[in-house]
Every structure is written in C-alpha cells, then in structure tokens.
Structure 1
C-alpha cells in the first residue's frame, strides 16, 4: 500500500494535468465565442450541453462517478459560458440595460404618493427621503400608488418592501413585477409601535386591536399575552388609529406610531410593543422612468428559472464569477405554475459596471423573464 505522501504527490500530478487541460479547453472556448460572435449564434445552447452531459456521464465507470462527472462538466460548461459572455462584454457586443444614467436625480418639485393616511409610516419615510415640504397625497392601497404613477398623477411612490422583524412585504414584490416601474431610492426608518386608545380608555378596557398585518406580526409577543384581544387587520397603521378615533369606542385600540397619537388625539396605553427593539422597515422609492444615478450602488432584479436541480445555483454563480456581492434573495410563487418560483435578488454594483453587465447578460441568456427592477 502507498503511503499518504505518495498518494498526495500523485494527486498533485493529476491536478496539474487537469489544470493544463482546463486551460486548453478555455482557449477553445474563446475560439467558440469568436465564432458565435461572427455568426450571431447565442452563447447558451441547451440541447448541445445536455447531449454533452449525457455523453460524459456515460463514460464513467460507476454510479457515483457518473453523478460526479455530470456535476463536474456542468461546472466546466458553466465556466465556459461565463468566459464567452465576458468576451462579448469586452467587445461591447452585449445589450445594455434599457436605463438612462444621470449624474444626479432631481427630486425637487416632485409629486409623491404614499399608501395610508396622515401619520402612516410611509409618510414618515417619504418626508425623510424627500423632505417635510414635499407635494404629496395618499391613497388607499399600494396598487393605487402604482396606478397613480402609471396614470401620471404622481412622479414617485413610497412603498414598504421589508421589515427587520416580520420580513418582506410580499404584495409589493408582486407589484414590482406587474408594473413597468423602477426603484430609484430607498429609505430605512425605525418602527416604534405603541398601543393607542381613546383619551378616556384604560388598558383593561381593550378587547379589539386594529393594525396592519405586518404590525400585528411585529408585535406578536405582546398580543399573545392578551389572547382575549381580537386582532383585526386593516390596510395601514394610521388608518387603524383613525378608525379608533372615529368609532369612539373605549374597547378599541390601534397599534400605530406616536405621531398618529398626536394627529388623532389618542392616548398611548402601552409603549415598546415590537418583538424586536431594533425594528426597522425599508421603503423603496419607485418611479415610472427607467433611470439611475451614476454613483448608484445597489441593483435589484427578478427572474424565473426551470424547476430543476441546480438551476438556482447556476444563476447565482454568475455573481460569484464576476466578483459581485449578493445582499438579498427572496422567492415568490408564480401564479398559474404550482411549486414554481420567481426570485428577487439584490446585488452590489452599478449598471455601468462591466462585471454587472456581464452577469446580467449571462442571466438574460439562461433565465426566463429577467427584469431589472432598479439601480439605486
């Protein structure tokens, strides 16, 4: 039996041979890219790759090797495609995203829409981003806000997209796919929920609590302690506070912000309701124009992929190869396709970056319905 040192030396020799052969293969890959450029053929040839994988698998001697050889060649061919996409980008032959780069976006004189009523957290995010004197109006639903942009009634909309405690606002992810709007900014604000009732009410009077579903989730611990309270979802925290004021019933309370207490003349019955003391919500700023600033640092995209083993990894590998940091991934079911999902991803970068363009070019070839949601 060979000792361990001898075995390792043999592995090192084999690895060296593999690297040499790999580099020769990549030289051929570059030649393939040049050919495809001259003939206009697409880089990704799925039928050719499947045939190649089946042939490579058939040459292996046992079940384990068949599976591992297939996986090995999937990676090799994936790297070959990435090199070909890189060559296309280097030669300026990739289709650039349909976005206009501007030195600086001008948010002055903008008309902004938010969902809810006065005192909503969306209004607070809007004032933080645009300023307190912004020309704004509010609508009943998030869809109404998107429609306001579509119909030219507003230049921008402020939408919650993610909370640090309750997670993503899923409806707004779906709306980003449905509407041809673009994210141009984001604003993070701290969420400090309090329990509001009528001036004459006491905590012991309460048996009905109104709030937005996200706020109810963010305050689930305190609500579990009061299981006798009926939890009722409304479209907005501020709408909930307004309802308590208008109904005038001592048994009703709302989970909302301190600002709404001042606006609607309500009494704070209990503070610090959030499960997480560091409770923050990220809002996105959406517009109907496909624009971005030259120093934008985050790109949001979404895409659909085949429901098969390894397909998501193959897509994410485009970021790895191009040295791009992925900061978030989210999935949403695709309507009409049971158990198939659309993926939403945030990456660091700018649409003018060659690495970002290279990754997006690869994704556009290998995914279905790739959509750039914004660069901000």
Structure 2
C-alpha cells in the first residue's frame, strides 16, 4: 500500500500544492503542523517522502530545516520552485472595513506587511499555517477575521478572495525540497545538482580554497549558507548547492573536497528544477 506524502500544514497549503504538482497525481497527504513533525513521520516510516520548504526569494533560508536534514541524515532527492501568491481570504459578503484581524503564518504576514499599512485598524495575528486559518474561518463561520493564504485554500474552504497578490514583492518564490530517508536515485543521467555540507578550520582562506576547487572542477555554486556549530563556538558548518554539466566533474570535485574539509557530507544528488 502506497504511503501518504507528509507535508507541513494542511490541504490547501503551499506544501500541499507542491506535493500535487511534483508528484503529478492525487496522492494522499499526511498533514503535520510543524517541520519537526514531518521529519518524525519520515523517521517512524509513517511516510516515505516529505515536502519541505528550504528558502524563499524574499525572506531567505529556513535555517532550521537545513539542520533537520543534516541531523537526521536525510537525503534530498528533488526540488520544486513555487511562485507564492498571497491572497486575503474572508467569508463572503464582507469588505476590508469589516475586517479587524488577519491571521496567518509569520512568514506570510512578513511578506504582506506593507499592504496593511493602509489599514491600521487591522491587527495581524500569527498562526501555525496559512491554510489552517482558512479552514478555521470556514468551519466556524468567522466574520471580521481574514486569512492570508492561497487560491487553492479559498476554493477548498469556500472563501472569498478580498484582495489578490498582496505580498510586497510580486515575484515571490519558495524553493521546496523532496526528502527521503535514503538516496534511491539510480538514474545518474538525470543528476546535475547536489547539496553538500562541510566544516572548515577557522583559518584564513580555508573557505576560498574550497570554492576554488569547485570552480576549477567546473561546478557552479548556486547557494551557500553558514550555520553555527552550537557545541563549538565560532566554528561553522557550510551548506552548499552546486550544479554541473558533467557527472565526472562533480565526482572529481567531491573526491578533493572530501579530503580537504571536515565532516563532509552529501545531503542529496538530484535534478536541477531550474533547467
């Protein structure tokens, strides 16, 4: 029996939308209210795959999710970029002047903050999930309260879109990764991107040396993110994404970096969704 796909949030959330688009079927989803919860479902084998947001073009990296993948030795097997459009959703028959509170995920509130400067009477309230707020408004028939969520959530929970695309920056993308317990990629011909993690000594030029190796081996650096090592003050782990045209170039670079860096780990090898 096929297991459901674990997502952070509920049906109608952006994670749900990615699951539908990436897997191109009507797979059942396992709704989790936190990223830790999705990972727990994977570790307990309640699911074989999870969808996890990793970075946003406006708000930047979701650093704790890098740590979750690393700490539990999980594997990134794919990625998906979703255009995030935030809409103001309410029960039908209301205007903006009727709304006293807007509830949504902190990230959504942050991305739409400028829109609400014109409506000082509205209080912004943080919630766990965008779609969950829409569901709650619908089920409880709450008037005077709005949600910031997707059009999918509006359709799923029968809400009216009071204002469209209210995010400050109209081109707003989130990169999601598809995560499993192990790498099951057998077709190496599809692989042209990898996510890596390593540590370096706190010495002059140590990071530059690694980056030069990647460049010399014809790898393109698309992402670099540092994360402090809590148990070792002023020492950092680096999370890096690279793309490449030839697998042999990538394999050569990995052989060299593996010798030069501490605690080197490949977090995933997969197909670049940008191509």
What is the TM-score normalised by the length of structure 1? 0.66
CA–CA distance in 2 between the matches of 1:168 and 1:338? 22
- Residue 133 of structure 1 pairs with residue 26 of structure 2: yes
- Residue 225 of structure 1 pairs with residue 225 of structure 2: no
- Residue 115 of structure 1 pairs with residue 8 of structure 2: yes
| Conserved 8 A contact 2:6-2:30 | yes
| Conserved 8 A contact 2:3-2:46 | no
- Secondary structure of the residue aligned to 1:260 is helix
Partner of 1:198: 91
Partner of 1:348: 243
- Residue 279 of structure 1 pairs with residue 157 of structure 2: no
Partner of 1:215: 108
| Conserved 8 A contact 1:156-1:285 | yes
Partner of 1:238: 131
- Residue 363 of structure 1 pairs with residue 257 of structure 2: yes
Partner of 1:88: none
- Residue 312 of structure 1 pairs with residue 207 of structure 2: yes
CA–CA distance in 2 between the matches of 1:331 and 1:226? 38
Residue in structure 1 matching 2:47, options 154, 162, 169: 154
Shift of residue 151, structure 1, vs aligned partner: 1.1
- Residue 296 of structure 1 pairs with residue 191 of structure 2: yes
| Conserved 8 A contact 2:9-2:132 | yes
| Conserved 8 A contact 1:333-1:339 | yes
Shift of residue 354, structure 1, vs aligned partner: 3.0
CA–CA distance in 2 between the matches of 1:263 and 1:237? 13
CA–CA distance in 2 between the matches of 1:347 and 1:163? 18
Q: Which has the higher helix share?
A: 1
| Conserved 8 A contact 1:182-1:291 | no
- Secondary structure of the residue aligned to 1:143 is helix
Partner of 1:164: 57
CA–CA distance in 2 between the matches of 1:227 and 1:112? 40
Partner of 2:268: 374
CA–CA distance in 2 between the matches of 1:248 and 1:363? 57
Show the 5 A alignment for 1:81-96.
none
CA–CA distance in 2 between the matches of 1:189 and 1:195? 19
- Secondary structure of the residue aligned to 1:291 is coil
CA 1:258/1:316 → structure 2, altered by over 3 Å: closer, same or farther?
same
Shift of residue 110, structure 1, vs aligned partner: 5.6
Counting matched residue pairs gives 268
What is the TM-score normalised by the length of structure 2? 0.89
CA 1:354/1:246 → structure 2, altered by over 3 Å: closer, same or farther?
same
Q: Which has the larger radius of gyration?
A: 1
| Conserved 8 A contact 2:103-2:124 | yes
CA–CA distance in 2 between the matches of 1:327 and 1:266? 39
CA–CA distance in 1 between the matches of 2:202 and 2:145? 47
CA–CA distance in 2 between the matches of 1:227 and 1:168? 30
Runs of 5+ consecutive residues of structure 1 not aligned to the other structure: 1-107
Q: CA RMSD in A?
A: 2.1
CA–CA distance in 2 between the matches of 1:124 and 1:207? 29
| Conserved 8 A contact 2:226-2:239 | yes
Partner of 1:100: none
| Conserved 8 A contact 2:192-2:247 | no
CA–CA distance in 1 between the matches of 2:146 and 2:233? 40
Which deviates the most, 112-121 or 127-136?
Answer: 127-136
| Conserved 8 A contact 2:191-2:247 | no
CA 1:223/1:167 → structure 2, altered by over 3 Å: closer, same or farther?
farther
Runs of 5+ consecutive residues of structure 2 not aligned to the other structure: 271-275
Partner of 2:273: none
Structure with more relative contact order (C-alpha pairs < 8 Å, separation 6 or more) = 2
Shift of residue 240, structure 1, vs aligned partner: 2.1
